[in-house]
């Protein structure tokens, strides 16, 4: 029987692409997003591809929503094998830090940092009990280099990088692994906010899928690693 994969932020963009990709491969899926209408459309598409799917409207920066979502997935499938921490927000768009509204700054950090912390923490008990687990979190080049006008989003990704490095060290003696994926700049609604009127080519979310397959196929060797799509495609000769 195929693994159970949990995907946050599954209603659009990369999260939707991952959901449909793994639905085609027969994985059992637990998906969530804040937009229930869009999420249920993705669920229907995944079911049409033959997948077993649990879809729950949830704000994964909220501990109660996280517990409810994960509990439903565990009650349905009995386990969680892979967690893809994909959900995030950009914020108000390009803006100098000096002009940033403090409440929006807090909201972006709260959403982007707390959700991978809460989801990882909540799923770890099952993974550690099973002596098997993989947690992949989405980062950004802005999580290693500060870019003007990327504001709280960039700061939040610096925090996600540190969060996952800490998890990796703490889990190094276990069979549960955590790693990061930098997907580069993708043709998504979030990128439209970050770079309005973008005039250069972007990757489609579907072009990232082979990288996630690569990580899953190499379980046992990925803990603490940071994968970026540019290096992956270069090595693959694309």
Q: Domain residue spans in the chain?
A: 4-235
Q: Tens digit of pLDDT for each residue in 124-142?
A: 999 999 999 999 999 999 9
**Average pLDDT value for residue range 73-91:** 97
Q: Which fold has domain 4-235?
A: Rossmann fold (3.40.50)
Give Cα 132 to chain centroid, integer Å: 19
Active site residues: 153
**Average pLDDT value for residue range 44-48:** 98
pTM of the model: 0.97
Here the tokens at position 33 are: 């997003």
Q: Are 12 and 38 in contact (CB under 8 A)?
A: yes
Q: Tens digit of pLDDT for each residue in 157-172?
A: 999 999 999 999 999 9
Q: Are 26 and 53 in contact (CB under 8 A)?
A: no
């Amino acid at each position: 029987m195929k693994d159970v994969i949990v995907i946050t932020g599954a209603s659009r963009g990369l999260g939707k692409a991952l959901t449909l990709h793994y639905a085609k491969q027969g994985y059992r899926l637990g998906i969530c997003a804040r937009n229930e209408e869009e999420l249920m459309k993705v669920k229907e598409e995944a079911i049409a591809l033959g997948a077993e799917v649990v879809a729950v409207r949830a704000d994964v920066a909220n501990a109660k929503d996280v517990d409810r979502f994960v509990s439903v997935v565990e009650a349905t499938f009995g386990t969680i094998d892979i967690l893809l921490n994909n959900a995030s927000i950009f914020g108000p768009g390009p803006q100098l830090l000096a002009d940033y509204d403090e409440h929006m700054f807090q909201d972006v950090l709260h959403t982007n940092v707390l959700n991978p912390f809460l989801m990882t923490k909540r799923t770890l008990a099952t993974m550690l009990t099973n002596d098997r687990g993989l947690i992949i979190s989405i980062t950004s080049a802005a999580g290693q280099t500060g870019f003007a006008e990327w504001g709280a989003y960039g700061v939040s990704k610096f925090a996600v990088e540190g969060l996952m490095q800490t998890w990796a060290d703490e889990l190094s003696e276990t069979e549960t692994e955590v790693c990061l994926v930098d997907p580069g700049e993708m043709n998504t609604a979030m990128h439209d906010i970050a770079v309005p009127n973008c005039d250069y080519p972007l990757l489609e979310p579907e072009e990232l899928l082979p990288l996630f397959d690569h990580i899953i196929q190499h379980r046992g060797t990925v803990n603490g690693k940071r994968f970026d799509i540019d290096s992956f495609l270069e090595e693959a000769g694309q």
